[in-house]
Amino acid sequence: MKIRIFRTEEQLADALARCVVQHLQEQPKLVLGLPTGRTPLPLYRALVARHAKGESDYSNVDTFNLDEFVGIAPSHPGSYRSYMSEHLFRHVNVSRRRTHFLDGQAKDLDAECARFEDRILRAGGIDLQILGIGENGHIGFNEPAAELSPWSHLVKLTLASRRANAGFFGGKLTDVPKEALSMGMSTIMHARSIVLMATGKRKAEIIAKTVSGAITTRIPASLLQLHSKVEILLDEDAASKLRSEGVVTSRGGRVHER
Ligand code: GLP
């Protein structure tokens, strides 16, 4: 795992945006896996700003979002499709038919998960998967459990995850759906490269466990230790509980190899 630590979340976002734009320039048919939540918002702002400057072309890009709520329409303001449209898609030249979501309104949710996995395969697999992390170590909506699901699946959301998402539903916990569809751990681990971003003190504890703790289904993000191409991008706050040995200074953030 390569860990890069930035002074602020804006610096982190800018470095990652630069890296995404570079990927796009080298590989116009990039297949991107994308997260929602508060953490990626500065990244999406930075990507939109770079696009406005003419640095990027999304016309041949496919995107796959990690997860979506069950039972709400794509046009619902709390849906992850609405989030992506508001923060990224309507500001760049990505084609709507190339932005892929699990459909939480599908009649047969198992068939929908299979369709989504098949769509990823037909796109050639995910080149770059960007992730956030929940305070309990979830990635996508793969919540801590005795067993994890490998492929896209239906998830019963924990109260903590519903609370964390209440902000996207006008602060009303009762409006947050109780279920979601999420990529599974294998869907994520099959991406050719993975970047996990975390910012703020609230994430410091789980980041230390994810990076240096035991590999366990009780901390789904810890499985990333098994992937050969993972970068963890942190601000100083999220990095504050990492042991400091092995941290060296380099351009674009301190780099800490594990
Ligand atoms: C969720 C999402 C995750 C996200 C995580 C952290 O609910 N399903 O994909 O990474 O929570 O969210 P935040 O960035 O707001 O802390």
State yes or no: pLDDT of 249 exceeds 80.
Answer: no
Distance 1 CA to ligand 1 centre (A): 21
According to the model, what pLDDT value does residue 254 have?
Answer: 57
Selection from 17, 68, 73 nearest residue 42 by Cα:
17
According to the model, what pLDDT value does residue 9 have?
Answer: 96
Could you list the residue range(s) of the whole structural domain that residue 16 is in?
Answer: 2-257
> Does the beta carbon of 134 lie inside 6 Å of ligand 1?
yes
Q: Which atom of ligand 1 is nearest to the CA of 38?
A: 15
Instruction: Reply yes or no on whether 62 is catalytic.
Output: no
9, 14, 62, 67: which one is catalytic?
A: 67
Distance 37 CA to ligand 1 centre (A): 4
Q: Which atom of ligand 1 is nearest to the CA of 198?
A: 14
Report which protein residue has its CA nearest ligand 1's atom 1.
37
> Does the beta carbon of 45 lie inside 6 Å of ligand 1?
no
Lowest-confidence region among 47-61, 80-94, 238-252:
238-252
For residue 28, what are the CA distances in angstroms to 21, 72, 161, 174, 177?
Answer: 10, 33, 35, 42, 36
Q: Are the beta carbons of 152 and 182 closer than 8 angstroms?
A: yes
Tell me the Ramachandran region of residue 55: left when phi exceeds 0, alpha when psi lies from -120 to 50, beta otherwise: alpha
Q: Are the beta carbons of 204 and 240 closer than 8 angstroms?
A: yes
According to the model, what pLDDT value does residue 31 have?
Answer: 98
- Number of domains observed in the structure of the chain: 1
Average pLDDT of the chain to the nearest whole number: 94
CATH number at residue 71: 3.40.50.1360
Dump pLDDT digits (tens) for 127-169: 999 999 999 999 999 999 999 999 999 999 989 889 988 998 9
Q: Are the beta carbons of 134 and 196 closer than 8 angstroms?
A: no
Report which protein residue has its CA nearest ligand 1's atom 6.
134
